[in-house]
Amino acid sequence: LIATLLPPANPRFFLLAICASLLTACPYPVYKKLRPEGVALILDSTGKPIAGAKVVILTRAYPTPIHEYDVKITDENGLASFASRRELQTETVFLHGSIEYYWNWCVEKSGYKTYETGFSNGDEFIEHLKLTLIEGDSTSCTPIEQAN
């Protein structure tokens, strides 16, 4: 049956297509980091800690629509801490590769400009953030769909 399906001009291409389709249909277990450990120290322009700042770690998973928001409020020392989160998942090989997680910081406090990172790779994330906020207008870290 396979011999009748092979095109006479290029049987290697047909075999490669079969192998590729078998690989993409093979799920495998993987232990994924869903969120790294994160510690943020938030200071004002004089170096004093800012209490009550909203600190967000935004988790995104490419190429899925997964968007998660973990929120902490800084304490009197200007600190907000996030624990690492890992999970055993089942993945399937896609043409683009596997699911890749990456993270971004967002910090907001009334009276200060909102700080946001724009990382697109998990290796770029800064796990220990020391940030000096600048006075100005703040915007919300929480997207509209998360506010409801």
Burial class (CB in 10 A: 0-12, 13-18, 19+), 13: exposed
Chain segment 68-115, per-residue pLDDT in tens: 889 999 999 999 999 988 777 676 766 666 777 788 999 999 999 999
The 8-class DSSP code of residue 144 comes to: H
Residue 95 to residue 91: CA distance in whole angstroms: 13
Peptide bond into 29 cis (omega under 30): no
Other Cβ atoms closer than 10 A to 88:
8
Chain segment 8-53, per-residue pLDDT in tens: 556 666 555 665 555 555 676 766 777 788 999 999 999 999 999 9
